[in-house]
Structures are given as C-alpha cells and as structure tokens.
Structure 1
Amino acid sequence: MPANAVHGFHFLADTDGHVITAAQRPLEAAVKAVAPELLPMLRRPAVLLVDAASRAAEALPPLFEAMERETRVHEAGQMAVGLSLLVALLVQVARIGAAQPGDEDAVLRSRKAQQVERFKALVEARFRERVSIEDYGQALGVSAGQLSRLCREVLGISALDVVNARVVHEAQRELAYSLLSIKQIAAVLGFEDEAYFGRFFKKHTGHRPTDFRAMAQRRLAAA
C-alpha cells in the first residue's frame, strides 16, 4: 500500500500475520539503487493471493522474523539492515504478484520486466564501453525509442538513465575504494577525456570526482 493511498485493515480474531510500515521516500531510494524494476509495484496498491506452497511464500516468514528482530536491536547499521530486508521482501512480493492467476496485465508486465532485465544484463557487461542506446536496442531486437519507452514503463527512467546510473555507481566505487587516478578511472569507464568525465560525474552527483573522493575517504576514516 503506497503512501497517500487511503486504506484500512480489518482482522478476524484468529488472524496471524504482520503489518510493516515504512517511509516511502527512503524505501524508494533503496529500491531505485538495487532493483528499480520494483518501483511501479511499490507505487501501486494491490491485494495479492499467496500460494503457501510457492518458493516466494516460503521465503516470507524468515524475512518477517528478521525484520522483527532488527526492530529490537538498537545498534549501528540498523537502518541499512532494515532497508535491505525490506527490499528483499519486496522482491518476493513482486514474484508473488507476477504469478497471480488470470492476470493478463501481470503477464505482460512480467514479459516487459524480463526484457528490461536482459537490457540491464547487457549494460552490466558493457557499460565500460560507452555503448550507444541504439546498439543496446539492436542487440535486443528493438529500436532505441522502444527500449527507452520500455525502461520508462518498467523502471520509471529512460534507457540512457539506466546506463548512466551504472557508470556513476562504478565511478563512485572506484573513487572511494581504489587507488586509481581520476584519469585512470575515466579511461576504465570508457571516457577518452578526463575533463569530460569530470563534467559527467558532477552533472549526475553534484560533486567533482576529487571532492567526492575526499568525502568518501573521510567517511571511511570515521567508520
């Protein structure tokens, strides 16, 4: 049940279950980082039938129990653990939703999600090569426009945004944890010009690569 959706719960006396309340914005931010294909589901109210014999259903109780235990532990990293468990829970809910009987729209969404997953796999394999969206589309048998529309429908962002987000994430990882120079990182990520890489990184993060590296090193030193 997404934020701002009016709802209520009525429980029978013998009901045994869980109600989890989470802040929408940080949850969406976490989902966008690791599983953006879940965003449409996260923003749409739904009531799902659960097949108790399914693998996804079997995965739910341990996740609920782990989340309940985490609420009783007031230690460092509690927010990170809680969000990670919520994302894992949403993955299982999405699998349950995709298996709903007689839902042609769900089947179509599942097919589109599979196409997007193929695209993401290609991006993972080739993002360092600065491959064009046209080339990605050709590899998937669709036009660049079709690919971008598909990504917007499933992920809420364009195909180019998917590629750029992966490049930025890798750049951040290299800046934070590697000893490579800015010029070397730019070359590793397929940028022929260090200055262009710097402009690209600042556009997407708001920081110059040197500033981001300094902030990351300070955080690591304080951890």
Structure 2
Amino acid sequence: MAVVSSVARVPIYKLYGEREQWPTPDMVHCESIADRSKLHDWKIKPHQHHGLAQILYLRGGLARVCLDSQYFDMRPGHIVIVPQMCVHGFRFAPNAVGHVVTLAYPLLDRLVQEIGDSQVTPSVPRIYYVDDSDDAAKLDMAFGSLHAEYVGNGAHRGRLMESMLVAILIWLSRHDAYASGGPARERDRGHQYFHRFCQLIEKDYAAQYSVDHYAKRIGITAAYLNVLCRQYVDQSALELIHQRVVLAAKRNLVYTSMTISVVSYMLGFSDPAYFTRFFKRQVGLSPREFRRQAAKLLE
C-alpha cells in the first residue's frame, strides 16, 4: 500500500487551488497559463486531480514541470499531457505564454471512443515537442479557438470545442513523446479496485446502485471500498456516486430544456420532490434555482 500512503498526502483539486465545483457543468475548462499561475507567483505546487486530465501547451517562455517526482525543462512548443492521479507541478517564467486545458474523463473517454484509438490518451504523463512551423500554426489555432469558444457563448459552442479537442488529441497521437514521467507506476491491487469502481460509476451512475452493489461487482467489501476511496480522494464511495449523478443533473438542467421531473426520472429518481431535495443538499441550490443561475452565467 506504499502508493496509497505517499499519494494520499498530495492535495487533490478540481482545479489547482480550488475545491469547489466549476460554476457551470462543462466537462472541459480552458484558461491561459497566466490566469492561474500568476496568482501563485508563477509556481503551481505538486498536486493531483481525480477524474480530470490536463493538457498544457507552452507557446512562449520557459517552464519546469514535475511529473511523478521527475523534472523536465519545457521551452516553446512543448505540450504535456497529465492523466488523472499523476502528481504534477509547474514553475513558469513570468513570460510564459500558452494554455491549460482540463478535461473530465467522461468527455475524454467519449472523444477517444469516437476517434477509435485508445492510445490517444496515455495512462502515464507524456511530453511532446512541436518542431515544425506548420504544426505549430495548427496547434496555435486549435488551442486559441478552443479558448475563444470556452469564454464565449456562440452557437454550437460545445460542438466546436469538442472538434478542437479532437484535433489536438489526433495531432498528439501522430507524434512520439519527447519524454515521459517514466514507466507506469506499479499499481497496487487497491488502486486497481478503485479504478474499476470509477469505471462502474461512469457506466451505471443513473441506476441508483448501492455501494454494496458496486463492491460485490469488484469483489471486495463495501467497507474496504470506502477505505480505498478515502485513501485516494478523501471522499466516501457514496459521495463519488452522488458527484457523478449531480454532474449529469447539472448538464441536463443547463444544456437541455427537460423539465425537472424528466431529469429526475432519467437519473433513476422515482420522486421528483426527492430529487429536488437531493440536488439542493449536494449543490446548495434547488434545480430550478441552479438552472436560473447557470442561464445568467451563460448569457
């Protein structure tokens, strides 16, 4: 269990320095390097993400990246992919320019499935180098367009962002990695159980299965599953299930015109009133209030 004890002390964030949910239920977040690092004196301390992968594109300036205790110097044209639960940190020069894209795994998995190549997203961190002016121009356009759509509210915004993400992923799949965070860490059995639990949640979150149901499918006890969840992400197994249900509810409330009753039934709730109480307990707002607030943010 050495992996658990060493990793568990590393902060786990939604985004670096944040523990709150994103303001809208997008499954992608895009910002410039300066947006966040400038607030932290250009230094992002080692941390990790559960359920999120990141792609950092350094277009200008210099940086130094830590990937699972290994350090690499970055210069203009470098791109790093950081999978979930990889301990990573950055130190940027004040003149660093580029983008940081954060993707939730439900979206990333769907894009990979559409591309039809599981190797598009590595299970260990990878660094790539853009050494061709034509390739650099294409990536500048893709990352720039992704960021412009993310901060905007144009028609078909989500679809265009996904198209830019697919272009970036395909480009990376065509190039060899310049460096990696080393061979895949030896995953203990507990980590394998936890990973399997996350996969099952993604597949069956709307079925309202109990923690005991998931534990039996994995082949362990519910108590041990909770221990693993606490060790890896400092949350209970039930909290992780509820998080995924809430994410689906938010997306339906914001991006569809479904009534609250229909949303509740789709997510396995037989009583819309109970769904409303559940949602408010998790989010702090009723579904109706959340939908109204999100609509204002997206105006």
Is the pair's TM-score, using the shorter chain for normalization, greater than 0.5? yes
* Of 181, 184, 196, the match for 1:118: 196
Percent identical pairs in the alignment equals: 29
Match of 1:21 in 2: 43
| Alignment-derived partner of residue 92 in structure 1 | 125
* CA distance in structure 2 between the partners assigned to 1:220 and 1:82 by the alignment: 21
Deviations 1:130-155 (A, max 9, x none): 00111111111111111111111122
Residues 65-96 of structure 1: per-residue CA shift (max 9 Å, x gap): xx88x9436xxxxxxx43639xx999618x83
Q: Residues 52 and 102 of structure 2 are in contact (CA less than 8 Å); yes or no, is this contact kept in structure 1?
A: no
Match of 1:72 in 2: 97
CA contact (8 A) 1:129 1:190 kept: yes
The CA deviation at 1:61 is 4.0
Count the aligned residue pairs: 164
Secondary structure at the aligned position of 2:69 is classed as: coil
Q: What SS does the corresponding residue of 1:62 show, helix, strand or coil? A: strand
Amino acid at match of 1:34: L
Give the TM-score, by structure 2 length. 0.46
Q: Distance in 1 between matches of 2:10 and 2:212?
A: 35
Say whether the 8 Å CA contact 2:277–2:286 is kept in structure 1: yes
TM-score (norm 1): 0.61
* Gap runs ≥5 in structure 2: 1-8, 12-41, 54-65, 82-91, 104-120, 127-179
1:154 to 2:232 alignment: yes
The answer for the alignment partner of 1:188 in structure 2 is 266
Q: Which has the higher helix share?
A: 1
Alignment of 1:1-223 (within 5 A): 21-22=43-44, 31-32=49-50, 34=52, 48-49=69-70, 61-63=78-80, 71-72=96-97, 81-82=99-100, 84=102, 92=125, 96=181, 99=184, 107-108=187-188, 111-221=189-299
Q: Distance in 1 between matches of 2:79 and 2:68?
A: 21
- The unaligned stretches of length 5 or more in structure 1 are 4-19, 36-44, 52-59, 74-80, 101-105
Are the equivalent residues in 2 in contact too, given 1:98–1:107 (CA < 8 A)? no
Greater percentage in strand: 2
Structure 1 CA distance for aligned equivalents of residues 224 and 10 of structure 2: 28
Alpha-carbon RMSD across the aligned residues, in angstroms, is 3.8
3-state SS, counterpart of residue 22 of structure 1? strand
